[in-house]
Structure 1
Amino acid sequence: MTMWALQSWSAAAEDNGVVHKAPYKILYIMSYHSPWRWTDGQLEGFKEGMADASVEYQVFQMDTKRNSTADAKDKKGQEARALIKSWQPDLVYTTDDDAQEYVTTHYVNRALPFVFSGVNKDPKNYNFVGSKNIAGVLEQEHFVQTINLLRQIAPGVKRIAAVFDSDAMWEPVMARMREYVTQIPEVEIVAWDRFQTFGEYQRKIKEYPGQADAIALIGIFNFKDAQGKNVPYQDVLRWTAENSTLPDCSFWIDRVHYGTLAAVTVSEREQGLAAGRLARAILVEGQNPSSLPMRPTVKGHAVVSLARANKLGIKIKSGVLLSAEVIKKFDWDQ
């Protein structure tokens, strides 16, 4: 089953919809790297979604937080496509946007089935909608819930400065934030700032107390140092926790481990679980990928940093602590 014909899905199911073929070969192409909770958690969820199907996995890391230039991403995309050609998987699982742009888009309406998760951009941008061989799971932020959680912790928050690096992947996130902030009439986003260098970011963080009550730390992966190299996002967050006097929020749990005050996170497990169920429907049940809906996961997970609250002098109410996962120490103090 390593060479798929597009018409095969309609005729593949046998014995009440079950296709007897194992082990399946699944190639997992991550935009980022491992070990990391986001990428590893998606794979764990995916395996859970595949249930009892026998699968041989291979993993390819594009590592685009370090390989962040267009040329470097293109090179990693070429390596991934070469691996697809040589290993001939039954299905490719791709996570986050870089893998879609540099890998999956080369296979639209081709024979090999693809399942994606963690995608921020509209799948129409990749020509995925209507493609016969592509299904997937969208990543959409829990913006309103995150701001409500932040305001439970810091009730005085009304003006928020939103921070992004220069990567185009944040544009749809910004658009959704602009839309959803209208649901919270007490809150205004007073700055939509994009930075290329870590120095620019550091200077602005120190200026925000005169302009805003809180900071939304969204795009922080591609700040450059004086030598033009990427500053690891963990270093960005540690500097922020040690130097910023404002409460802050984001949408991902790893940010809270590295000092961000609060988030209602997109669950990496839920993203992978939904993708794994799609892959099982394609491989085991013989369903056509184009018949499977592309939609986001809806379950969020509240997380707060007690360490950051203590540093900011904020006392979090017991009801908030009881309803959220509590990170008691900064990651660098573990």
Structure 2
Amino acid sequence: MKRRFGILLSCLLLLVLAAPVRADHEQKRLFLVASYDPDNVCGMPQEEGALEELRNQGWIEGKTLLVERFYMDTKRRYVSPEAMRQRGQQALKRLRAFAPDVVLTLDDNAFREVGLALAGQKIPVVFSGLNGQPEDYNRRHHFMNSREHPGGNITGVYEKLYVKKAIELLATAFPDRRGQRVVGIVDDSPTGKGINRQFEIEMAGHNSVAGLYWESRQVSSFEEYRQLIRQLNADPTVGAIYPVAARLPTADGRILTAQEIIAWTVEHNGKPELAVNYFFSKLGLFGGAAVDFHKMGAMAGRQIAWILDGRKAGDLSIVDAPDFALVFNLTRAQQLHLELPMTLLTAADHVYRQRRKHQTE
């Protein structure tokens, strides 16, 4: 009996030792490279979503996960191509000293300057919020065989915009605007050019959607942006705008970012604004069908968790941002004298009733 008990005890011990146990001594390292500053309206919700999903998967910052962050600040401070390259080199130096188990890049500048530099190396890389086409980046520096089967050390989440869905929603909410134009507005930064390319791809073969016509415009300064907004407001054929300009220089040498541009837009624009993401609606834009940056970051966090649990980055497909969220700013709707159908309000994922305050540096 004792011998049989001893054998049973040994088997149980082997099972316990073989079971995956996530303990503090198994702490892994994540290096996060964000394109912008810590409070950026695009980067911040992605970071929060990724870390929240990692916590849900048992990877808890400060316990099972050690996180090092590097903010490139390329919206306001390091805006020239050379400055971005230098920031990327600084990030890579910090990264190599940290020796991470996985790297997360947020938005295009971080991926272009840091993520691509790690292509073909041992460190797994997950990107989030990529506006540029993965295939275009792949021509610069090969990192994937296909989106479905990357095959290397890089995977991530592409920021699909769902432009057609946003236009369809506008037509559903306000059928009297059919026959009018929706005008997308981007800046001439690398990200802005990437978004403009996304517009072309998503709207290819669709000059109109649900009876609304589409066009896009690019501006290179805040002065150009203000002039364009005034022109569009004076044009009765324009039913709505889709403002995505998030970095614009001023005549006195300042750089305005999304919060400041949106604040001016809300004060001076009289057309409903389709929001590219829910946070832009929280800042004051009308809203519509928007990218949920928090969910997009969460998807990247899930990929990181899979990698930390032993899967290879190259075996994980590059995926689109999760489906759009319905968001509306009711205060903005009232300012524009627009009444939303109750069916849309009850289906909304986020409803904001006032404009979020912002600080201008």
* TM-score bucket of the superposed structures, by smaller chain: 0.7 to 0.9
Q: Quick check: 92-101 or 274-283, which moved more? A: 274-283
Q: Structure 1 residues 176 and 71 mapped into 2: Cα distance closer, same or farther (>3 Å)?
A: same
TM-score, L = length of structure 1: 0.87
Q: Which runs of no fewer than 5 residues in structure 2 stay unpaired?
A: 1-16, 146-150
Structure 1 residues 189-225: Cα deviation after superposition (integer angstroms, max 9, x where no partner): 1x4211111111111111113141211112x122211
Give the match's secondary structure for 2:256: coil
What does 1:273-288 correspond to in 2, within 5 Å? 273-284=298-309, 286-288=310-312
Amino acid at match of 2:212: V
1:52 and 2:52 correspond? no
Give the number of equivalent residue pairs.
Answer: 318
Q: How far apart are residue 182 of structure 1 and its match?
A: 5.4
Amino acid at match of 1:43: E
Distance (whole Å) between structure 1 residues aligned to residue 205 and residue 318 of structure 2: 21
Structure 1 or 2, whichever has the larger Rg, is 2
C-alpha distance in 1, partners of 2:305/2:172? 40
- What does residue range 149-164 of structure 1 map to in structure 2 within 5 Å? 149-157=169-177, 158-164=180-186
Percent identity, aligned pairs only?
25
Shift of 1:185: 4.4
Aligned equivalent of 2:157: 137
TM-score of the superposed pair, with normalisation by structure 2: 0.81
Counterpart for residue 119 of structure 1: 130
For residues 112 and 44 of structure 2, what CA distance do their matches in structure 1 show? Answer: 21
CA displacement 1:85-119 (0-9 Å, x = unmatched): 21111111111111111111111111111111111
**Cα shift readout 1:286-330 (whole Å, capped 9, x = no counterpart):** 222111111113322111111111111112222222222221111
Task: Give the 5 Å matches for 1:229-240.
Answer: 229-240=254-265
Residue of structure 2 aligned with 1:299, choices 323, 328, 335: 323
* Cα distance between partner residues in 1 of 2:358 and 2:320: 34
Secondary structure of the 2:274 match is strand
1:1-334 matches, cutoff 5 A: 22-50=26-54, 51-53=57-59, 54-66=64-76, 67-127=78-138, 128-130=143-145, 132-157=152-177, 158-167=180-189, 168-179=193-204, 181=206, 184-189=209-214, 191-208=215-232, 209-210=234-235, 211-218=237-244, 220-284=245-309, 286-324=310-348, 325-332=350-357
Pick closer, same or farther for the CA change 1:133–1:312 going to 2, 3 Å. Answer: same
SS at structure 2 position matched to 1:332: coil
5+ long unaligned stretches in structure 1: 1-13
Partner SS for 1:194 = strand
Q: Quick check: 1:306–1:326 contact (8 Å CA) kept in 2?
A: yes
The superposition leaves residues 107-161 of structure 1 with CA deviations (integer Å, 9 ceiling, x where unpaired) of 1111111111111222122223135211111110122221222233433333111
Partner Cα distance (1:112, 1:98) in 2: 19
- Name the structure, 1 or 2, with higher relative contact order (CA <8 Å, separation 6+): 1
- Say if 1:238 and 1:55 are closer, same or farther in 2 by CA, change over 3 A: same
Task: Name the SS of the counterpart of 2:357 in structure 1.
Answer: helix
Classify 1:296/1:195 alpha carbon distance in 2 versus 1 (closer, same or farther; 3 Å).
same
Tell which deviates more after alignment, 113-122 or 16-25. Answer: 16-25
The answer to whether the Cα contact below 8 Å between 1:224 and 1:231 also exists between their aligned partners in 2 is yes
